[in-house]
Amino acid sequence: MADFSGKIGPAAVPLGDRGMGAAALVPAGLRRHENRVLASLPQPDLALLSRHLHVVSLAPGAVLQHQDLPLEHVYFPHDGLISLLAMTPNGETVEAASVGRAGAVCPVLKSDVRDAFLTAVAQSAMRVSRITTAHLQIAQRESEALNLAMRRSRETLLLQLRQNMVCGGLHPVEQRLSRWLLEAADRLESDVQPILATQEQVAQRLGVRRTTVTLLASKLQEAGAIRWGRSRVEILDRSRLESIACSCYAGLRERTRALAPADAATKSIAG
């Protein structure tokens, strides 16, 4: 159908031959890390990675990895959102998971890390730390803390995949849209910071028509729950959105809370 909007579209910015966009490479060093998975590591474990970890600036729409194509890097966002998309052979997409600074874009299947399981796209201009999968694997052999952190990151992605599958099959778009907005704000770790997304992009994430999102966005705006400018959404009334969202929102939040990375300093104080 002509206006089915489930494609990455022309906004997608392919990265260069080594998976890097118009990006400045900066050594990440040993400072306290902006990504919370890396920040959760004890310093000796983070030191195993730091020589191979580089900070990369991404343009909006930058494609970090392509489904079924070779996987070269693992990414740790410092800010913003990375959308993980499942794609049809025609390029139609639906969001399988998303990752903010509390997570990592990492192999979903432990048994097969050669090819990307999903396509990863930067939702906005953002910074990430990246490391080659080979260097990460070497470090994982020496660090139980890193192993645990990567396993939790992977489990968080799998829980999202499961929830999104059941949600997409069973729940009305209005509930799914409210849930998407709440989870985006949660992964940005802010209700004040706007979510940078057009209605077209969110339609692609949910696998529905743009006109459906426009209609439902108007309803949410009239209810005072959100304000949606051309490419930014502000959450005005979180409790209103929570009352509209399906039970998947609270269920997934509860399920993933135990997997969230804790700060290494906090852990050492807590023993």
- Point out which residues bind Zn ion (CB under 5 A): 167, 171, 246, 248
Minimal distance in Å, beta carbon 177 to Zn ion?
11
Identify which of residues 171 and 227 has a Cβ nearer to Zn ion in the complex. 171
Identify which of residues 235 and 246 has a Cβ nearer to Zn ion in the complex. 246
Minimal distance in Å, beta carbon 119 to Zn ion?
22
Identify which of residues 111 and 239 has a Cβ nearer to Zn ion in the complex. 239
Identify which of residues 13 and 159 has a Cβ nearer to Zn ion in the complex. 159
Minimal distance in Å, beta carbon 185 to Zn ion?
17
Minimal distance in Å, beta carbon 115 to Zn ion?
29
Identify which of residues 117 and 180 has a Cβ nearer to Zn ion in the complex. 180
Minimal distance in Å, beta carbon 253 to Zn ion?
12
Which neighbouring-strand residues pair with 114? none
What is the SS3 assignment for the chain?
CCCCCCECCCCCEECCCCCCCCCCCEECCCCCCCCHHHHCCCHHHHHHHHCCCEEEEECCCEEEECECCECCEEEEECCCCEEEEEECCCCEEEEEEEECCCCCECCCCCCCCCEECCEEEECCCEEEEEEEHHHHHHHHHHCHHHHHHHHHHHHHHHHHHHHHHHHHHHCCHHHHHHHHHHHHHHHHCCCCCCECCCHHHHHHHHCCCHHHHHHHHHHHHHCCCEEECCCCEEECCHHHHHHHCCHHHHHHHHHHHCCCCCCHHHHHHHC
Identify which of residues 9 and 172 has a Cβ nearer to Zn ion in the complex. 172
99 CB-side CA count, 13 A: 33
Minimal distance in Å, beta carbon 169 to Zn ion?
9
